[in-house]
Structure 1
Amino acid sequence: MTTSAATPHLIDDGPLTRYHRKLIAACSGGPFLDGYLLSIVGVALAGASTELGLGAGALGLAGAASLVGLFLGSLIFGPVTDRIGRKVMYTVDLLAMIAASAACLFITDGLQLILLRLVVGLAIGADYPIATALLTEWMPRKRRGAVIGWLSTIWLVGAIVAYLVGFALTSLYGPEAWRWMLASGAVFGAIVMLLRLGAHESPRWLVAKGRIEEARVAVSTALEREVTTEDILALTADEEAEAKTSFRSLLAAPFLKRVMFCGLTWMCISLPQFALFTYGPIILAQFGLGNGGAEETLGQIVLNLGFLLGSLPALRWVETYGRRPLMIWTFVAAAVFLLPLGLWPEGPGWLVMVSFFLFTLASGAGTILVFIYPNELFPTSIRASAVGLATAISRIGAAIGTYMVPLSLSGLGTGPTMLIGVGLTVLGLLISIAWAEETRNKSLASLSTQIMSTVKP
């Protein structure tokens, strides 16, 4: 049983209200903080590695620890979010982020640095399925793609702000300010916590759990009009087919292919990005740009701006041209622009920066899809679990790759390392051609019905 196509859906076909805008700001705070926390380490590691005496292996662990934590956090807390709700986890993960960031002021050895970055990653991993699922389940369908894509854009804003803060602290106080760089995340975390006050639970999740009156109050507040119990019961029709789905369902047909598509393409996009976010100054120095000072950080800021600028037109393209063509052409362009760095690593500085910048533009456009696809391709009852599992797949690959980057740079050199990045983008292209679906302007109900109709009873 599904809602009639002639009957407007309360949420999918509803207006964008003041509550929606407040929720967008609140949910955006999580990705902003995620981008900030995962990127500030790229600047801090330069000072931390010298003061703490980190070798290539320890440096790789320090850079990859948060990604390992992100893998574990998304894998564990995605199903928890589906069981106990989006709103509770929405706050708990922020408290962990704030505490772990503040504790970085007291680091005295490499092990403490690695462990705290692991905790930060756990909290970030929890936030990915929480914030994106909550926002997806509240958004009208005609705005959903651009709004969820905006979360990736604001992630990039967080990364840029991290490098600006790192650049400012390095310029004023030198690399020795690395503890303050890592601890600064606590300040932004407190701001995000304030933004999240007053958020309502997802009405789709409440309906699925039989909490009809709570869903009615939440929807009435969001839509700024009185909503009856009968209106809310209409939402139940969209959830009935999903009632028997569970986390285990994600490991079997028809969900497994979608999980692998989301996770693997996310990994192919994020691994080269995280290599730049985490080791950008080091990589630029390998190309002969800068001499170990603030110049590399400034170059990193330029590259991060490229990721951001590339994502902005994509917020429109994802609704006009669609998800599938945007994903495919992102990988094509990223591979083309990264290739010169692998073939001519000793090229002039202008070629290095131009190639890197064009790569970031292309990669930034595809970045907005990493939150959109997993939130649209799965029903409400397992949406957070699916996002968590896709995140876990992407991040375990990214963690291994990030750990290997300094070893690859020192062992293989910059050219072969860049060619490995080209290979990853080509892999993402092939997966997208084979498996990418088009979900533009489709209601969550119709997408759920489409996938549930293929589930064997």
Structure 2
Amino acid sequence: MSTADPTIYVDEKRARFIKKWSSTLIAFGEFIDGYDLTVIGVAMVFLSKDFALSSSDKGLLVAVSFIGTAVGLIAFGDLADRIGRKKVFAFNLWVFIVTAIGAALITQVWMLWVMRFLIGVAIGMDLSCSSAFLAEVAPAARRGRLAGSLPNITFILGAIFSIVMAIVLQATVPEAYHSWIWRGMFLFAAVPSFLVLMGRKQLPESPRWLIQNGREEEAYQILKALDLDEEVLKAKPKKTNREYRKLFKGDARRRMLVCTAFFMLNTTAGPIVSFMGPVIFNEAGIAVKQNLYISLAANCIGLFALLIGVQLIDRVNRRTLGLVTAAVLTASALTVGLLGGTSNAFLFTGFICWTFATWLGPAVLAWIWSAEAYPTELRGFGAGLTQALARMCSAITAFIIPGLVHDHGYYAIAPYATVYFLMFLLVLFNPWLASTNESLEAVAEGELKR
């Protein structure tokens, strides 16, 4: 690898910017994702007054975003491996901006379905690139925090912001103009999208992707700016051919199947507290104001859990964290499902514990394990495929839960405890998931611990 003057590609000022802001600007795409995926559940409270929405309509409006996300992940994850991370995650922000404006101008429910699908595609584009990029620019000692915790923190901040905006608008806008609340909330998504777009223009390409594509000298300058040159040189990543069959052989196959299964289990049950809270409470007859405050409290608890997780993810055994949180989630789902209808105390206690454990463990672990599971030349495709399957699970849950809760009450939620029990067993029987502080290449391509 060349030891050319580093100012050829990265001058001192840009090097400081890259080191300080690269991870934040990539992860901040998740603020937009969190806002967009949460805002539909919150806006539904106001949308219902302008459109006659059935339980199925409400479920579909949330589910269609996840379907779009799956499409974006599959289509653009592979493209990101071919043309680079930077080009894709710049284009997706323009899609965010256009669809945010379009969603604010709709006059029919089917128009909103189309806009929500396209927003989902944009989210998929961002996820496929950001998860790969963050894993590739994070040092091993902080990869859990940067590639797992940071995007989740920005995601939940976006969710909190959407709920706070709804509370403020609901309190200040006269009831006669409440139809403008959901339009304003959809439109606002264009603002952070534009700001992140401007910031990302200053970022470099992923250095590991550059090495894979023979641009070693350029990669070296970026690695120097990120203080990753020694770690990456020691790991010795190299240019390799993109062979999809590598993912379906030996340890690589097991790694892919286990990480994908974990992500799918998390996104089968997780949306109940992550996205569907306002819809579920609305179906249960809780008033708008109380609904919004409960949703805000739940997301603040999730943020608190993530901040604790930031301190733990690169220090504790990740497998142990997965086992403990999966056990708590099993108990929480049973509490909400079997006892939630008998007492608000059981309902809210179970919901709070469910939220806390989700964001402390599986939400972060799913991100970091799925990014670590694949070699650099296939990381965008592999992580995209994993997350696409996971988002389809979210779509199914989002579609069926409103109707189930409407017809059967909270008892409909109890079976989701089985999902978390399966998650517990999956982590229990795969000791190699304890991947703390190993190099990215060692985790993605090394032999699995039996």
Query: TM-score, length-normalised on structure 2?
Result: 0.89
Maintained 8 Å contact 1:70/1:121: yes
Number of aligned residues: 429
What root-mean-square deviation, in Å, do the aligned CA atoms of Structure 1 and Structure 2 show?
2.5
- Which AA in structure 1 matches 2:144? G
| 1:119–1:164 Cα change, 3 Å | same
Q: 1:48 is matched with which residue?
A: 47
- Which AA in structure 2 matches 1:71? A
Moved more, 25-34 or 114-123: 25-34
Aligned mates of 1:379, 1:207 — CA distance in 2? 13
Q: Is 1:405 matched up with 2:433?
A: no
- Displacement of 1:265: 1.7
Aligned mates of 1:90, 1:347 — CA distance in 2? 47
Q: Is 1:445 matched up with 2:449?
A: no
Maintained 8 Å contact 1:204/1:235: no
- Measured against aligned partners, the alpha-carbon deviations of 1:174-193 in whole angstroms (never above 9, x if no partner) come to 54211111121111111211
- Measured against aligned partners, the alpha-carbon deviations of 1:111-152 in whole angstroms (never above 9, x if no partner) come to 110110000000101111211211211111111111112211
**What is the DSSP-based 3-state SS (H/G/I as helix, E as strand, rest coil) of the residue aligned with 1:200?**
coil
Q: What is the correspondence of 1:73-222 to structure 2 with a 5 Å cutoff?
A: 73-148=72-147, 149-173=149-173, 174=175, 175-176=178-179, 177-222=181-226
| 1:186–1:39 Cα change, 3 Å | same
| 1:47–1:352 Cα change, 3 Å | same
Q: 2:59 is matched with which residue?
A: 60
Q: 1:280 is matched with which residue?
A: 277
Aligned mates of 1:139, 1:339 — CA distance in 2? 38
- Measured against aligned partners, the alpha-carbon deviations of 1:320-373 in whole angstroms (never above 9, x if no partner) come to 212111111111111112212211232222332122111111111111112111
- Displacement of 1:77: 0.8
| 1:337–1:232 Cα change, 3 Å | closer
Q: Is 1:325 matched up with 2:320?
A: yes
Q: 2:252 is matched with which residue?
A: 255
- Measured against aligned partners, the alpha-carbon deviations of 1:158-206 in whole angstroms (never above 9, x if no partner) come to 1111111122222223542111111211111112112212101111111
- Displacement of 1:86: 0.6
Q: What is the correspondence of 1:380-419 to structure 2 with a 5 Å cutoff?
A: 380-415=376-411, 417-419=412-414
Aligned mates of 2:309, 2:220 — CA distance in 1? 35
Q: 1:10 is matched with which residue?
A: none
- Displacement of 1:285: 4.0
- Which AA in structure 2 matches 1:271? T
Aligned mates of 2:245, 2:170 — CA distance in 1? 48
**What is the DSSP-based 3-state SS (H/G/I as helix, E as strand, rest coil) of the residue aligned with 1:37?**
helix
Q: 1:304 is matched with which residue?
A: 299
- Displacement of 1:233: 10
- Displacement of 1:274: 1.9
- 413, 417, 421: which is aligned to 1:422? 417
**What is the DSSP-based 3-state SS (H/G/I as helix, E as strand, rest coil) of the residue aligned with 1:303?**
helix
Aligned mates of 2:355, 2:188 — CA distance in 1? 26
Q: 1:22 is matched with which residue?
A: 21
- Displacement of 1:447: 2.4
Structure 1 residue runs without a partner (length 5+): 1-15, 453-457
Aligned mates of 1:41, 1:62 — CA distance in 2? 7
Maintained 8 Å contact 2:319/2:427: yes
- 361, 365, 368: which is aligned to 2:360? 365
| 1:32–1:330 Cα change, 3 Å | same
**What is the DSSP-based 3-state SS (H/G/I as helix, E as strand, rest coil) of the residue aligned with 2:406?**
helix
Moved more, 215-224 or 153-162: 215-224
- Which AA in structure 2 matches 1:431? L
Aligned mates of 2:242, 2:252 — CA distance in 1? 10
Aligned mates of 2:210, 2:231 — CA distance in 1? 10
Moved more, 79-88 or 131-140: 131-140
Maintained 8 Å contact 2:77/2:382: yes
Maintained 8 Å contact 1:208/1:236: no
- Displacement of 1:30: 0.7
Q: Is 1:338 matched up with 2:333?
A: yes
Aligned mates of 1:232, 1:210 — CA distance in 2? 19
Q: 2:265 is matched with which residue?
A: 268
Q: Is 1:70 matched up with 2:53?
A: no
